């Protein structure tokens, strides 16, 4: 795992006068923003037991992480499609009473509770497998290595922009902040593309649309 401290020295040289605490706060904020906007930090959660007649399951993030969204859901190795409560409530079917031994639709609310449209009528050990996108918590010092290795300058640019727009400081500069923010935003598109291609030389046009959840 990488560490937040990896970015402190280079950020400090570009914003002389900023304290270690201020730089640390800026770096943490930018890394969380980067992960939320690029959705590159993906992990599989520990498999969950499915209990018959139970349609809701709380998703728990790994240590030192927060869940941004749900990337993929499988029940017994079969893909389950995302939907939303709004879409279901606007449909003519009485979906609240649907049951199935193999749910085909799910939704996730703001509290990270996954709910199947079709309530399972069979119990399965470790039958629910969920992949999620993550961001580090605001207090953790550790971050995935790929953020340091692949997006070092992106995070530096974002942190410098963050610091320069703090008002009333000797280094404050709206113009400078906008410049560095342009650099930061400019590489986010490239980072988002990596979600589809990874490290492989694959055309984005050949990729399937990402799995998403409308909460």
DSSP code, position 45? P
According to the model, what pLDDT value does residue 205 have? Answer: 52
E-assigned strand segments in 59-117: 65-75, 78-82, 99-100, 105-108, 113-116
Place of tokens 């400081």: 169
Using one digit for the tens of pLDDT, what is the confidence trace for 160-189?
999 999 999 999 999 999 999 999 999 998
What are the residue ranges spanned by the domains of the chain? 2-40+144-194, 42-135
DSSP state of 206: G
Instruction: State residue 27's pLDDT score.
Output: 98
Flag whether pLDDT at 214 surpasses 70: no
pTM of the model: 0.88
Confidence of residue 210 (pLDDT cuts 50, 70, 90): very low
Q: pLDDT tens-digit profile of 58-97?
A: 999 999 999 999 999 999 999 999 999 899 888 888 788 8
Position 91 scores a pLDDT of 81
The partner residues of 119 in beta bridges, in order of sequence, read: 99
Distance from C-alpha of 193 to C-alpha of 191, rounded to nearest angstrom: 5
């Amino acid at each position: 795992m990488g560490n937040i401290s990896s970015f402190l020295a280079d950020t400090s040289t570009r914003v002389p006068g900023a304290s270690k605490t201020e730089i640390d706060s800026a770096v943490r904020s930018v890394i969380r923003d980067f992960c939320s906007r690029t959705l590159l930090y993906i992990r599989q959660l520990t498999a969950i037991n499915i209990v018959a007649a139970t349609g809701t399951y709380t998703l728990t993030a790994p240590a030192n992480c927060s869940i941004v969204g749900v990337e993929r859901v499988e029940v017994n190795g079969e893909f389950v499609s995302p939907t939303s409560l709004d879409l279901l409530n606007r449909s003519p079917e009485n979906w609240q009473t649907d049951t199935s031994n193999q749910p085909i639709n799910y939704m996730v609310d703001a509290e990270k509770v996954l709910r199947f449209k079709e309530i399972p009528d069979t119990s399965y050990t470790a039958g629910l497998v969920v992949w999620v996108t993550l961001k580090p918590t605001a207090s953790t010092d550790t971050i995935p290595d790929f953020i340091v290795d692949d997006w070092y300058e992106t995070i530096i640019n974002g942190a410098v922009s963050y610091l320069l727009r703090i008002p009333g400081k000797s280094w404050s500069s709206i113009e400078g902040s906008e410049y560095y923010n342009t650099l930061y935003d400019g590489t986010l598109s490239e980072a988002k593309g990596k979600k589809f291609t990874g490290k492989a030389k694959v055309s984005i046009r050949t990729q399937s649309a990402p799995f998403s959840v409308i909460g």
